[in-house]
Structure 1
Amino acid sequence: MNPAGDPFLEACSKTFEDQFSPLEVAGIGSFGIVFSATTKSKSHIDKLGTPQHRDASEGSGTQALQAVKLCLPGCPSGIKGSTSRLQAEIEAMRRVSKNTTPSVRHLFAELYAFNTSNEPWYSMEFILPGVTLQQVFDVASAASYPFPEEIVFHVADQAARAFQYLHDQCRFVCTDISQSNMMLRYPGKEVSVMPDLVLIDWSFWAEASDQTTTCAVRNLYNCLAPVFFDAGWRCSRRHDRDSCAASGVFHSC
């Protein structure tokens, strides 16, 4: 895409002209402009140090997609509010990265570069192509197509482990749990024929407490249940809920 004519794309292109080629504005949130972009330098992929990232940039010359979040005066919250929120998000992602273990590392978007020392403030995250739960829900609802049972349990288990890790190891909870902030990414790291559920937005979070954790559990249920159940798949009304594989996630709320 030619950024000419779009002030946000022009700003992104100018800021990262030696590193990224902006493709389009992926979203304008309360504190930042999010761009999808491709890398210009293979060193930016190599420094990540994971085979999955390197594989994504090899082969046909396709360059890996990045999510570049840039604070600009055009953000709805203004540049001052934007920078403070970006700094909070960076702190959350650094805490996750510091405490992460191989069993859950693939369930979180990775922060690998950021700048808060001088304007423009920005963060860069590596995100492989995928679809958000919101997109899945919209398509499944329109087609009245049931969500495969195996994927329901697999994704619900990953979500439970990811949020338990945030609570137990990082001591915070995400306070902006939504279908648009979770992505299904193929192929999965755990089971290649199933997607991984990846948390992709850390804009708002709070220190873990009984109150925030209870609220997070409720929000997670409200986020996942419509995707899995309202789109067509349901547990049998006659099944034994005590032995149901979904009992810990769906039947306790």
Structure 2
Amino acid sequence: MNPLHDSLDLPDLNTVVTRLLAAKRVLVITGAGISADSGLPTYRGIGGLYNDQHTDDGLPIEVALSGEVMEAEPSITWKHLAAIEANCRGAQPNAAHKVIAAMQELVPTTVLTQNIDGFHRQAGSRDLIEIHGDLFELECVHCSHHETVADYSRFKQLPPPCPHCLGHLRPAVVLFGEALPRPAIQRLEKVLQDGFDLVFSIGTTSVFPYIAQPFTAARHFGALAVEINPGDTEVSRHANVRWRCGAAAALERLWQAVSVARHAAHASGAAPLS
């Protein structure tokens, strides 16, 4: 843990610690901001790459990264996907990803992520809903060929050709205008059916309804809703607790407080908190 985070003042920290240690189910919703401390850029919000800007193709990022453009001009979409992959290359999960993975040893923890960087999986999260897919899983647009790659450095052309047919490969990610993967939607529906005691929204502006709705559903379950984001988002008004700082700093401080609380309970001979 980073000692610089030990004194970070987080409003209602004790409330969150108490709820986490008593929880039976936790939902964590993450966006690009959680990977910022790994050196990856965000796309919207404070410091976002595409805030009211067009790409160098003259297209809004939502158009460049759309299923329509991938079908009509795949080289454009691939160029931007390759730029995202280049930012991921050599990067590692940060403290925020690791704390979330550690939570599952205390309480069943589901992670709903929009990120395609694979960091939650690398950090050890097991109950993971990658709602937008995985940048490193490739599939042919014409045949059933599928492969996993470590990075894109071996590709001599974009889009890369399929080794089994005349088609080309694309990452198994959800582009703008495309349907979400049905298995991921079904898993999310089950999470919402079962309910949860605590929900975190971390590093996401929550512009998509399927990302905002699970957070706003907290009031239906009587769950505590905690937002971690430096700026205002679509769900900020629904948060019971707001920590306006980076994800790694906040979650390291939270985990330190959890450790202190568990140690104190153990030393006093009290019943285990989790």
Name the TM tier (shorter chain).
under 0.3
Which has a greater percent of strand?
A: 1
Give the TM-score of the pair, scaled to structure 2: 0.24
Larger Rg: 2
- Bigger RCO of structures 1 and 2 (CA < 8 A, at least 6 apart): 2
